[in-house]
Amino acid sequence: MKYTYTPTGVCSKKMEIEVENNIIKSVKILGGCPGNTLGVSKLLVGMNIDEAIKRLKGILCGNKGTSCPDQLSIALENIKKQSN
């Protein structure tokens, strides 16, 4: 399943995620800090969606109240809801 998410409260503008059988196949984050978003994207490939949510949820960036990883966890939670 391919999914597009528009994050809020962060520098990134769009997240494109592909999940198959509860495993993350690809993540592309447009905007944000290129090195960090690329690193996070590569680390998630092959990971179970539940483990990724557990690791990313609640990470903050400065005083924004969220972060690109936190927004990615929200996107992954939305994917889980849609697939049920």
Find the CATH number of the domain harbouring 17.
3.30.390
pLDDT beyond 80 at 84:
no
Q: Which residues pair with 26 in a beta bridge?
A: 18
> Do the strands 12-20 and 2-5 form a parallel or antiparallel pair, or are they unpaired?
antiparallel
The residue segments making up the domain with residue 36 are: 2-83
- Alpha-carbon distance of 35 to 15, in angstroms, equals 15
- Alpha-carbon distance of 23 to 6, in angstroms, equals 21
Tell me which residue of 76, 65, 48 sits closest to 10, measured CA to CA. Answer: 65
Domain tally, the chain: 1
* pTM, full prediction: 0.94
Structure tokens at 38: 């690329």
Per-residue pLDDT tens digits for 39-63: 999 999 999 999 999 999 999 999 9
Q: Residue holding tokens 């769009």? A: 14
Average pLDDT over residues 28-35: 94
pLDDT band at 65 (very low <50, low <70, confident <90, very high): very high
pLDDT at position 83, please?
82
Structure tokens at 53: 């949510």
Instruction: Map residue 66 onto helix, strand or coil.
Output: coil
